[in-house]
Structure 1
């Protein structure tokens, strides 16, 4: 090392270890109340000296609420790990005394008849959210200083700020992830801070603190609202309809600081232009604030405002302004970067500074923001009125639960839904009462409805920060179409999923079709009880009712429990799984008798999944969540670090999900031997490439190399980015007689795809039970070159290997917990692999 470089490093080591002082963050042009506790007095260290743990963060917020008449705190529930999800409301004491009236007046501004409602003295509402990615901790640590500033700052400027704003303060959007990362950073912190990038402190172990308990990226869940953290904050959002919502993140260590607006060409077309104009105006307050402290920054590049499931974009379809902040991350306490030593306190100060500049913008632009919100909903009402008499109906005549879960999401977004007045058929699809819902288009939140139900295949830009399509009825695999509102019955205020039942007690056998979403849950409970069950591989009719492929048959005789006990148990199971089980008095059927060999014996699934380094925690977490939360089926998570010591014979199904291809040879050999002895290995997405490379499979793939023509060096990044299939929806034809498609009633299915893996179909047509059509694009972006490769390819294959099987999925059937419509493909692979 050169002498000058060594001197530079030593100087900055000394600087990095200097004691942090709260004044480093706080503006010094105002005074602070001495009766308000500082963060250090409660959490035991200065802000930025250590990473605050979630318990200490919340304890400080509770203390502030008790000490300050400017703050109240609301308990909104808990995370999967039981951590609290509080919301602070920060405003002047006078506003607090009139808070509910302020909220009602604010909501009234978005309703019809608000034209005469004056905004001259109406407070604006700002929702400030911090660190939805737990290992991007500068936001939540800055929340300590911001909350203190708002509680303790005094003077005319502070009074004016609090009189004119209601601040909804969410100090930790991801408590479980924040706690996980704080533990990592603090347990690896040295007394002598070490900025070396190779230091263990900056390389957290898998899965890292970014995600929540089930390893979900929660900043993709604002629209699907499948997670408890999302549900409480979306409820708070709709309860208040804030004018600005801020979302404080971090990015790579060598980056500086980003604030919106993002890429101008990557704004969703449903977002009004005025939204972006106001975003640019707010940005000038950040410019001034960051200039004042000498921090580098950038805007209008890299990030976009397209997917409405992100915290910074979700507000844009709701009459609000979403603001994304991205701070270069120290990922610990101090780290080398291209911009010099990046200290944790420095990252906190930038987040603190822009949190305050947001409030300053809201105060100065208060009336403009309120008037924009009123205008947004005035335009929305005009759009909705143009749809008077029109509605969307969706449902599945065979599966009430899927349709119910979609209706549940709509209700969480304050969308009115109605039951169908009576069963009817439209465009060849039956919409049944209790299995279908009607969404009138003439209602306040028509823009959210449009965002959730639209299909889009044309775009002004070919690059996307996130997915390019998320059409909800396609994700749920429900039938849907436009109908007259005359089809609707009463509005549903109390949304309840229908209860299941056993239609009649039988002394012969019980049957239930495989269509309902929760049938895998019911079947596991039955098999776990030690009850014998079989699955039918043909369509048959018995006692006047037709039963589809995959129907489950439970004989009454030769079971381990009596017929009375079996009946009682199945009643309980039917209720819990919301399914109907039919008792029959004969085995004689039209088609296949119940004693036929067409009924295959089922064994209880014993499932394991590989986790750890080299595995995508998102994909693994989605599968874990589905098994655990949806179906109550145990799944063993086996880490690659101790995989060599595991007895795989305990399992009959092993899932290898998306991998970067860095798995060791021990895993290869052990899995190969296990499969050849009779195990079933399910490979997802890029795991297929690993399986091919390591000679598990002989599947042929279509080449994806695309040659650039007339593309300059400057354009190469955009050219390559345009070839990424980042998330779009495609149509495939299905063979319903194949076990992988049991439980599906239509001959086609919509699949979510975010890979460029194109498998060649088998020469034998019956080995291609799912095949992309010749015109597969339904919604989203895909390059012309990749679309050509996709046509006629297959997203699913089964290959024999010794006594076992390898099942391949090119696409994610469990995407972000809201792709309900393809969850059963995985469950079919788990339950019916012996039939394939």
Structure 2
């Protein structure tokens, strides 16, 4: 008996000893803190922690484009981990997002920690391992106390593809010694850099739009938990002292006092830790809370206390000498992060009751007392609502479709006036009285209040204008009969079809033509309205006729399989129209299948390249040859008919420019965006010029000289404020469009462009000015008063014909961040309809 007791005691002692000897990252990972950790090593360490500790659970929530796992780790006491589902349901039930509630489980504060949304800000993931270890460390009595009332959800790497791209590169170019000198190659990251994901998207700008697979999978599980605190861990330029809350102005007007109060608490608590170590830091200077698609703002608009942490480190490699003469190492960077993050967990635990109350009041009161001006948003029936519905579902925003008729009045987005209108069946109705009341208002409020014009990002994002949908914001809660969805009637394809008609009105139209071209099927497009019995073909509408595709076996079945994704397609029984626009007439242009060359590499704006690549590869699934600018001289251009130049500064030789000129004259087409259009500025044979006349140029030079003279008397302190008078960080600008030209087909009566740069050009001579800013234009968001005057009667999109080919100028990028839906259609017009 005694022997048996000794055995039991020995086993208990042995198991406790093993637990007490949980390995730190330094013990487990070779060279931790001195060299970047490979992603598979990060995964191995967290798997080790899951195996060795009862305080952590793993959940794989998705995979990246490059098939790397996306993982969450839940850290708390064994008792809390055993009750995770009940805790989750209780949290959602308390804010009206779940009907399931278990009374026997106490409330816990949920703290979500996100690391490395930008892959080359790698100290985030490095610190995540130290944070996890300290929370699990059996000898850390403080963290044991925190976890009793806290659930920590830890995502060690939001962007594994970017992290791995950067990490593999840094490992490959690293020697045994560090090189803190500024010009060593480990401080000179190669294009496109590790900041971005596979498609070179900035995932930290994608929270609300969810264009990327990583974001879609993460937000889906985020919405299942709805934490009270969310921390987004970043790095910035290596010379910058550490940044932690409180955040800078502008703060969105919907942010509650409890969120601001906890920011202040964190500022005091983290600063106390940093003061003790004599670490430099700053607060309230640069990182604001306004644009809704960040890792701090999106959680904030969902009731959490969202925040950004920023450590100086981008470009630092393993070690670098800062401008103050001291060196910063990986160990320094991860230690600062770990200290700040653990302080946040500690603070959340100590403020549990206040955080939970504030979170619940935020969500529940938002339904009772609407924060904004409007209570209902009405989107007029439009095929583009198909994609808007997808966005709303991703964000768990409730909506329905009108199933009756009613007269109403409200703010009209397209005219910025209050107007009477009629709600009709199939109009989309979004009511603010719903669980996502605040997020709904942030995304749809037409006039966001900007209390400080020094914003970090774009200042307007009105969803109806982004989608090109006529819309109204109504001050009252509309009571009208609704239905949850639109009925889609399956088409009965006749045994014999003269032609298929595919309306040109949303991104699905572009997906269909992309598939038809790849199948070798000939396609035509209508230039003007054509009527065939009860079928009306609007400009841009696609026609696939049996006569022009005689080699297709079983024409009806083959084509209907391709076009069925577009539920509003039609089968036409005759080519004889009711309005003299027969299918065999001049009204229907035969479209060429684009053979696309897209340039990448040095000089090309990486994210704008990524937006174009993503559009081609994912949005429309169309083939593209991508060539580095350094290899452009080796390309035989006649193998292509379309050259896409994303935003950038292309250092092409005169011979290369001459080659492009000749190729365009022989039928080549260039789509040039943003700064890329400067390749054609003031060049012989092209219409692009910053001045319409010599007199305008002389006047501009004179005004600039006079301004320089005036600046001599101005103080330095106001220089930054004065500079923004000529800026436009990101605003929505009304454009008048030429609806008769194919590049404008399907866009609506006007086009609202998201303008993110100051460069502007007068309307072009001897060109087709497809979209331009009229004299008295409407705008949303911040536009500096000097910039506002400059934009008048400037072109946004134009086509410059040259010989058999053309250059399509895009002063604004219609594919910016992949969420400007009407811009996607505009770019599709340029790619497929402009011959």
Alpha-carbon distance between aligned partners in 2 of 1:180 and 1:499, rounded to the nearest angstrom: 47
2:308 maps to which of 324, 328, 343: 324
Structure-2 residue corresponding to 1:801: 802
The verdict on how the C-alpha distance between 1:540 and 1:404 changes in structure 2, with shifts beyond 3 A counting, is closer
Task: Please state if 1:226 is matched with 2:228.
Answer: no
The verdict on how the C-alpha distance between 1:350 and 1:537 changes in structure 2, with shifts beyond 3 A counting, is same
Task: Please state if 1:476 is matched with 2:467.
Answer: yes
1:583 maps to which of 549, 572, 578: 572
Post-superposition offset of 1:465: 0.4
> Deviation per CA, 1:467-488, whole angstroms, max 9, x where unpaired?
1011112111122224664434
Post-superposition offset of 1:685: 1.0
Task: Please state if 1:48 is matched with 2:33.
Answer: yes
Structure-1 residue corresponding to 2:327: 341
Map 1:101-140 → 2, pairs under 5 A: 101-111=86-96, 122-140=107-125
For residue 73 of structure 1, give the secondary structure of its aligned residue in structure 2: strand
Post-superposition offset of 1:575: 2.1
The verdict on how the C-alpha distance between 1:502 and 1:220 changes in structure 2, with shifts beyond 3 A counting, is farther
For residue 411 of structure 1, give the secondary structure of its aligned residue in structure 2: helix
For residue 816 of structure 1, give the secondary structure of its aligned residue in structure 2: helix
Task: Please state if 1:261 is matched with 2:246.
Answer: yes
For residue 614 of structure 2, give the secondary structure of its aligned residue in structure 1: helix
Structure-2 residue corresponding to 1:716: 719
Task: Please state if 1:446 is matched with 2:447.
Answer: no
The verdict on how the C-alpha distance between 1:687 and 1:526 changes in structure 2, with shifts beyond 3 A counting, is same
Q: Is the 8 A contact 2:532 2:572 kept in 1?
A: no
For residue 794 of structure 1, give the secondary structure of its aligned residue in structure 2: strand
Q: Is the 8 A contact 1:90 1:167 kept in 2?
A: yes
The verdict on how the C-alpha distance between 1:289 and 1:499 changes in structure 2, with shifts beyond 3 A counting, is farther
Structure-1 residue corresponding to 2:12: none
Structure-2 residue corresponding to 1:15: none
Structure-1 residue corresponding to 2:555: 566
Structure-1 residue corresponding to 2:482: 489
The verdict on how the C-alpha distance between 1:101 and 1:512 changes in structure 2, with shifts beyond 3 A counting, is closer
Alpha-carbon distance between aligned partners in 1 of 2:796 and 2:145, rounded to the nearest angstrom: 60
Post-superposition offset of 1:384: 4.4
Map 1:587-666 → 2, pairs under 5 A: 587-660=576-649, 662-665=651-654
1:751 maps to which of 737, 750, 753: 753
Structure-1 residue corresponding to 2:413: none
The verdict on how the C-alpha distance between 1:386 and 1:149 changes in structure 2, with shifts beyond 3 A counting, is closer
Structure-2 residue corresponding to 1:293: 277
Structure 1 stretches lacking a partner, 5+ long = 1-30
Q: Is the 8 A contact 1:32 1:153 kept in 2?
A: no
> Deviation per CA, 1:201-232, whole angstroms, max 9, x where unpaired?
11121100000011000001111122121122
Structure-1 residue corresponding to 2:195: 210
Task: Please state if 1:547 is matched with 2:537.
Answer: yes
Structure-2 residue corresponding to 1:6: none
Alpha-carbon distance between aligned partners in 2 of 1:315 and 1:385, rounded to the nearest angstrom: 17
Alpha-carbon distance between aligned partners in 1 of 2:127 and 2:327, rounded to the nearest angstrom: 19
> Deviation per CA, 1:655-711, whole angstroms, max 9, x where unpaired?
111114545555433322322332111111111223216557332325788736664
The verdict on how the C-alpha distance between 1:373 and 1:631 changes in structure 2, with shifts beyond 3 A counting, is same
The verdict on how the C-alpha distance between 1:344 and 1:669 changes in structure 2, with shifts beyond 3 A counting, is farther
Structure-1 residue corresponding to 2:51: 66
Alpha-carbon distance between aligned partners in 2 of 1:691 and 1:52, rounded to the nearest angstrom: 45
Question: Which is worse superposed, 802-811 or 170-179?
Answer: 802-811
The verdict on how the C-alpha distance between 1:256 and 1:384 changes in structure 2, with shifts beyond 3 A counting, is closer
Post-superposition offset of 1:336: 1.6
For residue 642 of structure 1, give the secondary structure of its aligned residue in structure 2: helix
Map 1:135-154 → 2, pairs under 5 A: 135-154=120-139
Root-mean-square deviation (CA, aligned residues, Å) is 2.9
> Deviation per CA, 1:701-736, whole angstroms, max 9, x where unpaired?
257887366641122123213432111111112222
Post-superposition offset of 1:444: 2.1
For residue 774 of structure 1, give the secondary structure of its aligned residue in structure 2: coil
Map 1:783-822 → 2, pairs under 5 A: 783-822=784-823
Alpha-carbon distance between aligned partners in 2 of 1:755 and 1:215, rounded to the nearest angstrom: 20
Map 1:512-551 → 2, pairs under 5 A: 512-551=502-541
The verdict on how the C-alpha distance between 1:112 and 1:580 changes in structure 2, with shifts beyond 3 A counting, is closer
Post-superposition offset of 1:118: 11
Q: Is the 8 A contact 2:253 2:449 kept in 1?
A: no
The verdict on how the C-alpha distance between 1:368 and 1:382 changes in structure 2, with shifts beyond 3 A counting, is same
Map 1:156-167 → 2, pairs under 5 A: 156-167=141-152
Q: Is the 8 A contact 1:736 1:742 kept in 2?
A: yes
Task: Please state if 1:377 is matched with 2:363.
Answer: yes
Q: Is the 8 A contact 1:386 1:442 kept in 2?
A: no
Structure-1 residue corresponding to 2:267: 283
Q: Is the 8 A contact 1:135 1:331 kept in 2?
A: no
Task: Please state if 1:725 is matched with 2:710.
Answer: no
Task: Please state if 1:85 is matched with 2:70.
Answer: yes
Alpha-carbon distance between aligned partners in 2 of 1:77 and 1:120, rounded to the nearest angstrom: 29
Alpha-carbon distance between aligned partners in 2 of 1:664 and 1:644, rounded to the nearest angstrom: 9
Alpha-carbon distance between aligned partners in 2 of 1:736 and 1:775, rounded to the nearest angstrom: 19
Alpha-carbon distance between aligned partners in 2 of 1:423 and 1:653, rounded to the nearest angstrom: 47
For residue 773 of structure 2, give the secondary structure of its aligned residue in structure 1: strand
- TM-score of the superposed pair, with normalisation by structure 1: 0.89
Q: Is the 8 A contact 1:508 1:585 kept in 2?
A: yes
Task: Please state if 1:365 is matched with 2:351.
Answer: yes
Q: Is the 8 A contact 2:86 2:102 kept in 1?
A: no
